[in-house]
Amino acid sequence: MGRAGRDALAQYLPVLTQQHKPDFVVANAENAAAGYGLTLKIAADLFALGIDVLTTGNHVWDQKELLSTIGNEPRILRPCNFPKDTPGSGSFIAQSKAGRKLLVINVMGRLFMDAMDDPFAATTEIVNAHSLGKTVDGILIDMHCEASSEKQAIAHLFDGRVTAVLGSHTHVPTADDRILANGTAFQTDTGMCGDYDSVIGMKKDLSIQRMTRKYSFERLSPADGEGTVCAALVESDDKTGLAKSISTYRMGGALKQTA
């Protein structure tokens, strides 16, 4: 979320990767460019930090350059349930140096969101084309939506068929990280990387003005205090591709820190 989130990521992601040595790092970057979308320059900076795949959501086209360039960078995803012929792709298979393959699926919900194609059908089509533990070593779904019920429903639908379903969009980390009954890791929302002394990452005074007076002469802009990195670490079984554990992290900024 804006520069505060990018700066926090640059500070703490190397700490996490050094400590845990993950095979893959995935981040939702739809608010990276001053809170509104993503630019190729910022994407390159994030890839340089060691991120393998960038997902997005309803703000994917806020920076118009991405509409014409997303097709040139398969590691940047837009939700898979956009209408047919929308530029870009909703999924990507990343490959580690050791040869492991991770299928990342980006999908957006419909409850309290813009009208979209069916997220359940779109995700099913992609998952059906792969075999967890055989054609790919892991499958991660970024479920980008407002309603916790919709995130939980898609997680239970694919429980046992994907490695993890991690929610995004609400900018608030939830405390329900767990392994579902059939082996899929789940968290309703991983939270944002950004300044939490804010209104979901935006400066407090402008947000309050809009809500109390119903007008504002300024565009909402990201809070620029110290940022918090919110992350989830999923460990999977090498044979089945299902999750063995999920751990969450909060580092820096205003939130209570994890050990």
CATH number of the domain to which 71 belongs: 3.60.21.10
pLDDT at 216 over 90: no
59 assigned to active site:
yes
pLDDT at 8 over 90: yes
Number of domains in the chain: 1
Residue 256 forms part of a structural domain: no
What is the average pLDDT across 224-250?
Answer: 97
Residue 18 forms part of a structural domain: yes
The pLDDT of residue 215: 78
pLDDT at 197 over 80: yes
Structural tokens at position 72: 């040139």
Residue 231 forms part of a structural domain: yes
Cα angle, residue 90 at apex, residues 89 and 91 outer, rounded to 5°: 95
pTM for the predicted model, two decimal places: 0.95
The pLDDT of residue 18: 96
Residue 236 forms part of a structural domain: yes
DSSP string spanning 217-237? SS---B--S--BEEEEEEEE-
Residue 99 forms part of a structural domain: yes
Residue 149 forms part of a structural domain: yes
The pLDDT of residue 228: 98
d(CA 108, CA 123): 10
Confidence of residue 259 (pLDDT cuts 50, 70, 90): low
Burial (CB count <10 Å: 0-12, 13-18, 19+), residue 211: exposed
pLDDT at 95 over 90: yes
pLDDT at 217 over 80: no
Residue 257 forms part of a structural domain: no
d(CA 204, CA 199): 5
Reported as type and span, the H/E element at residue 102 is strand 101-108
d(CA 64, CA 234): 33
Confidence of residue 127 (pLDDT cuts 50, 70, 90): very high
What is the average pLDDT across 20-34?
Answer: 97
Mean of all residue pLDDT scores within the chain:
96
Catalytic residue from among 20, 59, 156, 171: 59
What domain range includes position 169?
Answer: 2-251
pLDDT at 68 over 80: yes
The percentage of the chain sitting over the pLDDT mark of 90, rounded to a whole number, equals 95
pLDDT for 147-174, tens place per residue?
999 999 999 999 999 999 999 999 999 9
Instruction: Give yes or no for a contact between 80 and 126, defined as CB atoms under 8 angstroms apart.
Output: yes
Residue 128 forms part of a structural domain: yes
